[in-house]
A and B are shown apart, each in its own frame.
Chain A
Amino acid sequence: MAEVEDTLKRIQAQHGVIGTIVVNGEGIPIRTTLDNSTSVQYAGLLHQLTMKARSAVRDIDPQNELTFLRIRSKKHEIMVAPDKEYLLIAIQNPSE
Chain B
Amino acid sequence: MEMTYQQKIESGRWCKFSESAVVHEDIPPDPSLALEYIDRGTCHVGTQFSKFWSQHEVTPFHTEQVSHGMNHVEGGWPETISANNDELTLRYRKKVQKDESYQQTVIETVSVMENYKQKVLEKSQVYFKDNRVVVKREDMASARIINVLRDPKKEKRAATSLSWHPVDNHKLAVAYSCVEFQRGPKNMSSDSYIWNIENNKQPEMTLKSVSPLVCLEYNLKNISILIGGSYNGQIGFWDTRSGSQPVQISANEHSHKDPVYKVIWLQTKIGTEAFSASTDGQVLFWDIRNMSEPTKQLILDPAKSKNLNNAFGAFSMEFDNTMPKFLVGTEQGLVVLCNRKLETTDEPIVCTYSGHLGPVYAVQRNPFFPKYFLTVADWTARIWSEDIRLSSIMSTKYHTSHLMDGCWSPVRPAVFFTVKMDGTLDVWDILLKQKDPVLSLKVCDETLYSIRVKNDSPLMCCGSQLGTVTLLKMSPNLCTLQSNEKGLVSEMFERETKREKILEAFYKERNQIKQSCPKEEEDGRAELQELLAETETEFFETIDVKKKKIQVDEK
Binding site for B on A (CB under 8 A): 1, 3-4, 7-8, 10-11, 14, 22, 24, 26-28, 30-31, 40, 67-68, 70, 72, 79, 81-86, 88, 90, 92, 94-95
Contact assessment for B113 and A88 in the assembled complex, using a CB-CB cutoff below 8 Å: yes
A94 touches B109 (CB 8 A): no
The reply to whether A3 and B116 form a contact with Cβ atoms under 8 Å apart is no
- Give A68 Cβ to nearest chain B Cβ, in Å: 5
- From residue A14, how far is it (CB to closest CB) to chain B in Å? 7
A28 to B83, CA, bound (A): 10
> Could you write out 25 A-B pairs with CB less than 8 Å apart?
A1-B103, A3-B107, A7-B106, A7-B107, A8-B106, A11-B113, A26-B75, A26-B76, A27-B75, A28-B74, A28-B76, A30-B93, A30-B102, A31-B97, A31-B106, A40-B74, A68-B112, A79-B113, A79-B117, A81-B112, A82-B109, A85-B105, A86-B109, A88-B106, A90-B113
Beta-carbon contact of A7 and B110 below 8 Å: yes
**Assembled-state Cα–Cα distance A11/B116 (Å):** 12
Neighbouring A residues of B124 by C-beta, 8 Å = 94-95
Q: Cα distance A8–B114 when bound, in Å?
A: 11
Measured CB to CB, the nearest residue on chain B to A83 is: B105
Taking the nearest CB of chain A, how far is it from the CB of B85, in angstroms? 13
Give the number of chain B interface residues (Cβ < 8 Å).
25
Tell me the dominant secondary structure on chain B's binding face.
helix
User: Contacts A1-B97, A68-B116, A79-B116 given: A86-B102 contact, CB under 8 Å?
Assistant: yes
Check A4 against B109 for contact (C-beta < 8 Å).
no
> Given the complex, which residues of B lie within 8 Å of A72, measured CB to CB?
121
Is the beta-carbon distance between A83 and B108 smaller than 8 angstroms?
Answer: yes
**A residues in contact with B539, CB < 8 Å:** none
Are the CB atoms of B76 and A11 closer together than 8 Å? no
CA distance A22 to B113 in the complex (A): 12
Interchain nearest-CB distance for B84 vs A (Å): 11
A contact residues around B16 at 8 Å (CB): none
A residues in contact with B106, CB < 8 Å = 4, 7-8, 22, 31, 86, 88
Q: Apart from A4-B103, A26-B75, A85-B101, what 9 extra A-B contacts exist at CB < 8 Å?
A: A1-B98, A7-B106, A8-B106, A22-B102, A22-B106, A28-B74, A30-B97, A88-B106, A88-B110
Across the interface, do A31 and B110 meet the contact criterion of CB distance under 8 Å?
Answer: no
Contacts of A3 in B (CB 8 A): 103, 107
Chain B neighbourhood of A68, CB < 8 A: 112, 116
